[in-house]
Chain A
Amino acid sequence: MTRILIPSGALGLGYDQTALDRGVAARPDLIAIDGGSTDSGPSYLGRGLSKYTRAGTKAEWAGLIRARQAAGCPLVIGTAGTCGTDSTVDWLVDITREILAEEGLTATIATLKCEQDPAQIARTTLTALPGAPDIDADTIADCTHIVALAGAEQIMAALDTGADIIIAGRTTDTAIIAALPLQRGDHAGAVWHGAKVGECGALCATNPQSGVLLLDTDADGFTVTPLADGACATPHTVSAHMLYENSDPFILHEPGGYLDVTDATYTAIDDRSVRVTGAEWHIADAYTVKLEGARIAGYQTVALVTIRDPHYVANAAAWCDDILQKHAAKVTARMGPQDYDCQLRIIGQTATLGALDHSPAPASEVGVLAIVTAADQTTAHDIAKLLNPYLLHHPLTRDEEQPTFAFPFSPPEIDKGAAYAFVLHHVMTLKDPMDAFRLEVLA
């Protein structure tokens, strides 16, 4: 049997300290936490930066380092620093060393680096996954960062070093949980299923934001127990978690194979724990790792104006269309032909859904969010500045009195810097799981 303590769905989301203490007292074999996700968009990978602050990350990570010390077991983080680039692994190593020094603790640190050289990936044979964008070698080579998602095999190699703290770059959410129980020979289907259920912490239970979860895996199945007061796992909450952010609620692909939970059965053990058996693990013919990459799509300047005049609120779409047309002509007249994108999104009508929204309810006011994207920041800024007279004073018809609309800021233009785009939804095949990854035990 293997016992994994999962403090929360991600470092940065916070965890219940009392529940974590309970988890430590339950003598876990390993503490595993995810450090990232693509869910907040391509900018973090594009820049190689964490979504969360250094101070917030340090406070939460210090609590887990103390928990590790008390439990006497390894602490593993996957996808360190939101995106799992080499830079975010180094960032967390730096934070870790600072914590150890401040707390007077010693611990061996191992790092697993997952970043890939875009020029080399551009020359590698890749297989597109369903829904992948059309890309060519130049698009790939243009990426500012590409990471490969490590699986359980690379985490096992890191565990084999005997390190106390393992800081991994991009990994699958489940791999950091699955690696140790797989090494110990627990039921592979149960291990992967339990890892999937547990990877978001207590999200598979009631009181989902409490975070802390205990996962026991063994030769036949797994048991999941949330540890915070008021948090209960039920057969329904646990089975329903397979739906979450999963395109297929029964199948989960990992580097070395896939999990099938079609025949799983969920049984309540008591009023807070659930026992699950019946999931199956299928080994794949080839060992494939998924790639994620981001490139700069352009540089952005945004502006926001709000409109309260009922006549303009009612005709906001026509007003925006007219502005876009006149603005485009002015850009060409003033700046010459430009390659850029300009969008006006009407907040209060269709900003969230665009043309798909057929029946927005009437609002008393609207905001118009202008987004200009161009090849460089100066061009984006200048094009946005040419919008300003229209956003301020554009009349719906030539005959009406010149209107004036509400700007919340001066200046109204806000330079956003680079906008990034995800470009890879592909896998590459490896002969050996460690081929694309670098494992290091730090002195």
Chain B
Amino acid sequence: MIVRDVVTKVRSKNAGPFWLTIDIFCGTPDAFARIRDGLSTDRVATALAADPAAIKRFDIAPLHVVKFSLPRPTVQGALDDRDMHGAGWAPLIAELDLN
């Protein structure tokens, strides 16, 4: 089972030019528990080729949201950047396997 099978929506956005933030909207308490317990920060880090220690994780039960914020994999608008608004990383997270 992958993240997309469980949640309502995965959104990624710039949080300024140097940070990326990924919001997983789970929709229900059950789906929230499934993501909270089944999607490790390490797995997200691997998918983004990021340092797990640099990822800030927020499990926000009242909103049924799991949020990850990290230094942007490429700085917004840099020569190697492929996605000015940072929305394209969301499908990568939505396609991750769950434990």
Given A41-B76, A422-B75, check contact A245 B15 (CB 8 Å).
yes
Docked-complex contact B63 and A240, CB < 8 angstroms: yes
Residues of A within 8 A of B75 (CB): 133, 421-422
Residues of A within 8 A of B95 (CB): 359
Docked-complex contact A247 and B60, CB < 8 angstroms: no
A353 to B47, CA, bound (A): 11
A129 to B19, CA, bound (A): 11
Instruction: Name the one of B21, B25, B62 contacting A246, with C-beta atoms under 8 angstroms.
Output: B21
Number of CB contacts from chain A to chain B under 8 A:
105
Docked-complex contact B82 and A351, CB < 8 angstroms: yes
Docked-complex contact A131 and B72, CB < 8 angstroms: yes
Question: Does A412 sit within 8 A of B, measured CB to CB?
Answer: no
Docked-complex contact B18 and A425, CB < 8 angstroms: yes
Docked-complex contact A421 and B77, CB < 8 angstroms: yes
A248 to B84, CA, bound (A): 21
Within 8 A of B (CB), among A356-372: 356-357, 359, 371
Docked-complex contact A41 and B84, CB < 8 angstroms: yes
Question: Does B43 sit within 8 A of A, measured CB to CB?
Answer: no
Instruction: Name the one of A243, A298, A371, A422 contacting B76, with C-beta atoms under 8 angstroms.
Output: A422
Within 8 A of A (CB), among B1-51: 13-19, 21, 23, 25, 47-49
Instruction: Name the one of A240, A247, A297, A371 contacting B21, with C-beta atoms under 8 angstroms.
Output: A247
A357 to B21, CA, bound (A): 18
Docked-complex contact A131 and B76, CB < 8 angstroms: no
Residues of A within 8 A of B18 (CB): 129, 131-133, 422, 425
A391 to B4, CA, bound (A): 37
Docked-complex contact A352 and B13, CB < 8 angstroms: no
Residues of B within 8 A of A421 (CB): 75, 77-79
B43 to chain A: closest CB distance in Å? 13
Docked-complex contact A42 and B82, CB < 8 angstroms: no
Within 8 A of B (CB), among A413-437: 419-422, 425
A292 to B71, CA, bound (A): 17
Question: Does A130 sit within 8 A of B, measured CB to CB?
Answer: yes
Docked-complex contact A246 and B15, CB < 8 angstroms: yes
Given A422-B17, A425-B17, check contact A356 B76 (CB 8 Å).
no
Residues of A within 8 A of B52 (CB): none
A41 to B79, CA, bound (A): 12
Docked-complex contact B56 and A248, CB < 8 angstroms: yes
A284 to B82, CA, bound (A): 37
Docked-complex contact B79 and A373, CB < 8 angstroms: yes
Residues of A within 8 A of B83 (CB): 352-353
Docked-complex contact B88 and A249, CB < 8 angstroms: no
Residues of A within 8 A of B82 (CB): 345, 351-354
Residues of A within 8 A of B67 (CB): 243, 249
Taking Cβ atoms with an 8 Å cutoff, the residues of A that contact B are: 38-43, 129-133, 236, 239-240, 243-250, 292, 297-298, 341, 343, 345, 351-357, 359, 371, 373, 419-422, 425
Given contact pairs A40-B84, A247-B19, A249-B67, a sample of 14 additional A-B residue pairs in the complex whose CB atoms are under 8 Å apart:
A38-B16, A38-B17, A132-B18, A133-B75, A239-B62, A243-B23, A247-B56, A297-B78, A353-B89, A356-B73, A421-B75, A422-B17, A425-B17, A425-B18
The 5 closest A-B pairs by CB, nearest first: A131-B71, A247-B69, A247-B15, A352-B88, A131-B18
Taking Cβ atoms with an 8 Å cutoff, the residues of B that contact A are: 13-19, 21, 23, 25, 47-49, 56, 58, 60, 62-63, 65, 67, 69, 71-73, 75-80, 82-85, 88-89, 92, 95
28 pairs of residues in contact across A and B, judged by CB atoms under 8 Å: A39-B85, A40-B84, A129-B18, A131-B18, A131-B19, A132-B18, A239-B63, A244-B23, A245-B14, A245-B16, A247-B16, A248-B56, A249-B58, A249-B60, A249-B67, A292-B17, A341-B79, A343-B79, A352-B82, A352-B83, A353-B88, A353-B92, A356-B48, A373-B79, A421-B77, A422-B17, A422-B18, A422-B78
